[in-house]
Amino acid sequence: MKKSWLYVSLALVVILATLLAACGPQPTTPTEEGTAPPPEEDEPVTLRVGTTYIWDTANPTFGWYNYTLRYLLYDTLVEEAGISDFVPGLAEEWEVSDDGLVWTFKIREGVTFHDGTPCTAEDVAWSLNWTIENEIETFSFYLYNFQEVVALDDTTLQVTLSEPVGNMEYLLMYVWILPRSVWGEMSYDEIMEFEDMAAGIGTGPYKLVEWVEGEYLIIEANEDYWRGAPAIDRIVWQEFATEDAAVQALIAGEIDAIAADTIPTTAVQTLEAAANIEVAVMESTTIDELIINSHENGTQPESLWDPAVRLAIAYAIDKRQIVNVAYLGFAEPATVIVPSSLGDWHNSDIEDIPFDPEAGARVLEEAGYVDSDNDGIREDADGNPLEYRLYATEGASNARILEIISDGLAQVGISAPPTLMDEDSLIGLYPAFDFDMVYWGWGLDPDPDFAMLIFTCDQREEGGWSDSGYCDEAFEEMYFEQAVTVDHEARRQIIWEMQEKLFEDRPYIVLTYANTIQAYRSDRFTDFGLEAGDILWKASILPAHAVE
């Protein structure tokens, strides 16, 4: 016996491995790549979505991930059909009093929550008031201005504001209507600890069925959805640890679509070459920018305040090259902070400063910055060289971008060696505004308000969102004016002026407007909407259906 233990265990392992390989259930995936499994009778139409992270929690009151999925569960009074394109949701229509303070909404009739309880104007009013009272983290701040919310009858909701707002549709687009039957009896602490799948109950086109953390999540069509049951019966979200794995799974036919922000630009070519896969390139609200420290108590050198220096920096940045290198062409060179995807909020009159190092050098020369000691770096009148700190967070793509910026700056006579640091360390520099220039990127809301808010003086206080330290009286005035301007055209004019002001003062040099890239199996599904910048967005997925 003892003699053969080695052989026995060897044999066992081999047998085990063979068993596992041979006896597994027949693959649900096609063995031949690029062909769809044959459709089975009575099988529900299932869309399998690959993503790198499903979400943090089913609880909508503090969950910050996967709004795409959450919007399939819940409804809002107003919906977004395309970026910044607002259409009626649970509210069929609305009107506003002349002073802009009283808004009256007609609420859709016959709508029910997934648990069967009705959703009348009364229930909508309860949900909004509950959100305000409990200061629900994820969306209460959109209602900061709401003084009173009442239901006049079953289909009429009246909202009274403390002051007019210019972006009511946008504000309401963020506030999910939740059922009193689930949340009504809970204390604040109970709300914050609620983990049950009932947290997914809303009036949306899909019902939350099952979630296994780290693995998958299943939602099923709501047959009683007020627009009618959606064509896709079931959506399964499967989690992959890397973007590449999701791409491989799509090519193998294990999944049918990939969530937004999950396809690396380097994989696009492979996907386009693969059979039966459609790649969708869409506009997004993501911008990349170079932040120039504009805080009067910041640690930046005096010369960085000089408009001539900031203009020269703008001349020195090759945005086209950044688009090609960092985004492989899947972005546009940017001008102002509001991206073109936001429709007419984007100031399209502004002509960008071209990449022209010679012009940049001339600007500096004329402003009195000359290279007196011939080291390639210009000095100001006091002999201080134009040397700046240039930071970004770690990452291969960020390293290339900083190099492009740094090389360009060297050509106009500015020294800015690139420094990459970890995100915590970079954020740690903010309270003291201890930096000169930072490369950064983020996604805007579909309304320009927040993008403007971050340049107001209050946002520089602790807990604020200012990253440039910018503070300007004229800008501030415009901000508060646009906030209360209800008329779209009047507000648009102010927003355009504000963009121009920022473009000239340059707390930001906006570099790129990025695209969203998604892909799906065109042999299984078709007719996804593309306007919202996400093929899985409620407005995009409702028209989609299985290929016959």
Partner 1 sequence: MKRRNYVLRKVVFAFFTLLAVLVFNFFLFRVLPGDPVRLIIHSPRMTREAQERIRIQFGLDRPVWFDAEALREGDLARAVDTQFTAYVRNLLRGNLGISFASRRDVSDMLVERAWRTVVLVLGGDVIAIVFGMALGLIAAWRRGTRLDTTILLAALFSWALPTFFLGIILLILARGHLPVGGMATPGLKPEDGLTYWLDVGKHLILPTLTMGIVYTSEYILIMRSGVMEVLAEDYILTAKAKGLSTLRVLRDHALKNAMLPMVTMIALTFGYTVGGAIQVETVFSWPGLGRLMYEAVEKRDYPVLQGIFLLLAVSVILANLLADLLYAVLDPRVKGN
Rule CB under 8 A: which residues touch partner 1? 3, 6, 9-10, 13, 17, 19-21, 23-25, 27-33, 48, 53, 56-57, 59, 62, 64, 135, 137-138, 140-141, 144, 188-189, 192-193, 195, 210, 212-216, 218, 236, 238-242, 244-245, 248-249, 251-254, 424-425, 427-428, 450, 453, 463-465
**Contact call for residues 316 and 411 (beta carbons, < 8 A):** yes
Report the half-sphere exposure of 426 (CA within 13 A, side-chain side). 18
Toward partner 1, which CB reaches closer, 242 or 384? 242
Q: How far is the CB of 544 from partner 1 (least distance, A)?
A: 20
Nearer residue to partner 1 within complex by CB, 51 or 335: 51
Are 507 and 267 spatial neighbours (Cβ–Cβ below 8 Å)?
Answer: no
CA distance 395 to 504: 30
Query: How do strand 156-161 and strand 102-107 relate by DSSP bridges?
Result: antiparallel
Tokens of 191: 């709300």
Instruction: State the nearest-atom distance from the C-beta of 4 to partner 1, in Å.
Output: 10
Nearer to partner 1 among residue 28 and residue 374 (C-beta): 28
**Smallest separation, CB 494 to partner 1 (Å):** 21
**CA-based diameter of the chain, in Å?**
96
Question: Considering the complex, what minimum distance in angstroms separates the CB of residue 458 from partner 1?
Answer: 11
Please state, in angstroms and as integers, the Cα–Cα distance from residue 175 to each residue in 130, 197, 409, 447, following that order. 11, 20, 45, 15
Cα-based distances in Å from 89 to 27, 307, 541: 41, 47, 15
Given the DSSP bridges, would you call strands 46-51 and 257-258 parallel, antiparallel or unpaired?
parallel
CB 134 within 8 A of CB 191: yes
Q: Is the CB of 409 or the CB of 454 nearer to partner 1?
A: 454
The Cα-based distances of 274 to 36, 144, 252, 256 in angstroms read 13, 49, 10, 13
Tell me the Ramachandran region of residue 214: left when phi exceeds 0, alpha when psi lies from -120 to 50, beta otherwise: left
Beta strands in 307-354 (DSSP E): 331-333
State the nearest-atom distance from the C-beta of 96 to partner 1, in Å. Answer: 22
3-state secondary structure of 515: strand
Nearer to partner 1, 30 or 441 (CB): 30
Query: Between β-strands 437-443 and 390-393, what pairing exists: parallel, antiparallel or unpaired?
Result: parallel
Q: Which is nearer to partner 1, 81 or 453 (CB)?
A: 453
Strand partners, 78: 88
Is residue 54 within 8 A of residue 237, CB to CB? The reply is yes
CB of 240 to partner 1, least distance (A): 4
Q: Which residue number, 122 or 243, has a Cβ lying nearer to partner 1?
A: 243
Query: At closest approach, how far in Å is the CB of 299 from partner 1?
Result: 16
Residue matched to tokens 């954020």: 427
Q: Which is nearer to partner 1, 409 or 426 (CB)?
A: 426
Q: How far is the CB of 436 from partner 1 (least distance, A)?
A: 19
Shortest gap between Cβ of 432 and partner 1 (angstroms)? 11
SS3 10: helix
* C-alpha distances out from residue 459 to 261, 273, 469, Å: 28, 47, 8
- Residues 290 and 511 sit within 8 Å (Cβ to Cβ): yes
Q: Which C-beta is closer to partner 1: that of 95 or that of 424?
A: 424
Q: Tokens in use for 179?
A: 């059922």
Nearer to partner 1, 95 or 189 (CB): 189
Q: How far is the CB of 87 from partner 1 (least distance, A)?
A: 26
Q: Are 400 and 511 in contact (CB under 8 A)?
A: no
Task: For the beta carbon of residue 341, count every other beta carbon within 10 angstroms.
Answer: 25
Closer by beta carbon to partner 1, 506 or else 524: 524
Sign of CA dihedral 383, 417, 324, 507: negative
Ranges assigned E (strand) in 20-145: 46-51, 78-82, 85-88, 91-96, 102-107
Integer CA distances (angstroms), 222 to 2, 114, 229, 316, in order = 63, 7, 6, 55
Least distance in angstroms from the C-beta of 18 to partner 1: 11
Q: List all residues 6 or more positions away from 2 whose beta carbon is below 8 Å from its beta carbon.
A: none
Q: Which is nearer to partner 1, 135 or 223 (CB)?
A: 135
Query: Which CB atom, from 76 or from 138, has the smaller least distance to partner 1?
Result: 138
537: number of Cβ within 10 Å: 24
- The least distance separating partner 1 from the CB of residue 1, rounded to whole angstroms, comes to 13
Nearest-approach distance from CB 440 to partner 1, in angstroms: 16
Distance CA 361, CA 367 (A): 10
Shortest Å distance, C-beta 362 to partner 1: 41
348 or 425: CB nearest partner 1? 425
